[in-house]
Amino acid sequence: MGRLRNTAASAVEDVRDDTGREPGVIGARELPLLDLEAPERVQTATFALG
Amino acid sequence: MGYTGGTTRDPTYRTMGDHTETLQIDFDPGKIAYDELLDIFWASHDPLRGSWSAQYKAAVFVHDSEQKQAAERSRDRTVSVLGRPARTEILPAERFYLAEGYHQKYRLQGVRELAAEFAEMYPRVSEFVDSTAAARVNGYLDGYGSLELLERERERLGLTPAGVQLLRRRVEGRRR
């Protein structure tokens, strides 16, 4: 549940821990800011449309 | 996109077994409520049509008792409008197997330039699959959202100016 929290947000935390760089910047890559919004609130829904 | 609901271990598109092709969404209930997602779900398929196979079954896979109650309420509302029983199932969510990379964000992967930009941002497929920005760009390319919305959030999508311009042209083009 909430896979989003395991990617962009945790990656940003990794960057903070390892390099002290600003959130949102990972190496040469800049993550979309939309991916950094409130991952702690994420819920999961699953549908099959037939 | 992925496969769930069956017993086959580690399914793929070619070895799906008794699983169902499924869409799994991570969402922020502060932005959109589960009830709204259910409304979209019921409006996006024919609840009266039976399943031809497990692969193409229509179902809501509920993750907790609250989702189960909400799904049942929304099904009852749909049935009252249709006047006939829905054949869409409400089932407990089980293990979800992510589909192969080429099934993910299908519209986005169909636009080579934009796909390349996202591949640079997210070298790993799992990151690409989880990206809110990728999901939104995929939605724009599939006819959702508006030019006004795109202009408001374009700087947050992570695209280059050329990528934004390409997406803008696609969104503008569908107005004609």
Position B51 scores a pLDDT of 83
Residue A24 has pLDDT above 80, yes or no: no
Comparing CB atoms, the residue among B20, B130, B157 nearest residue A48 is: B20
- Which pTM does this prediction carry? 0.82
Q: Are the Cβ atoms of A48 and B58 closer than 8 angstroms?
A: yes
SS3 for B79-126 is: HHHHCCCCCCEEEECCCCEECCHHHCCHHHHCCHHHHHHHHHHCCCHH
A-chain residues near B88 (CB < 8 A): 50
pLDDT digits (tens, 9 = 90+) for B116-174: 999 988 888 888 998 999 999 999 999 999 999 999 999 999 999 999 999 999 999 98
Residue A4 has pLDDT above 70, yes or no: no
Q: Are the Cβ atoms of B158 and A4 closer than 8 angstroms?
A: no
**ipTM associated with this complex:** 0.91
A-chain residues near B75 (CB < 8 A): none
What integer is the mean pLDDT of B9-13? Answer: 95
What integer is the mean pLDDT of B40-68? Answer: 93
Comparing CB atoms, the residue among B22, B56, B132 nearest residue A47 is: B22
Distance CA B100, CA B93 (A): 20
CA distance B67 to chain A (A): 8
* Residue of B110 and A34 predicted with greater confidence: B110
What integer is the mean pLDDT of B81-99? Answer: 95
**Taking each helix axis from N to C terminus, what angle separates B132-141 and B112-121, rounded to the nearest 10 degrees?**
170
Comparing CB atoms, the residue among A1, A29, A37 nearest residue B121 is: A29
Domains of chain B by start residue, with CATH: 2-98 (3.30.1060.10), 104-174 (no CATH)
Q: Does the beta carbon of A8 lie under 8 angstroms from any beta carbon of chain B?
A: yes
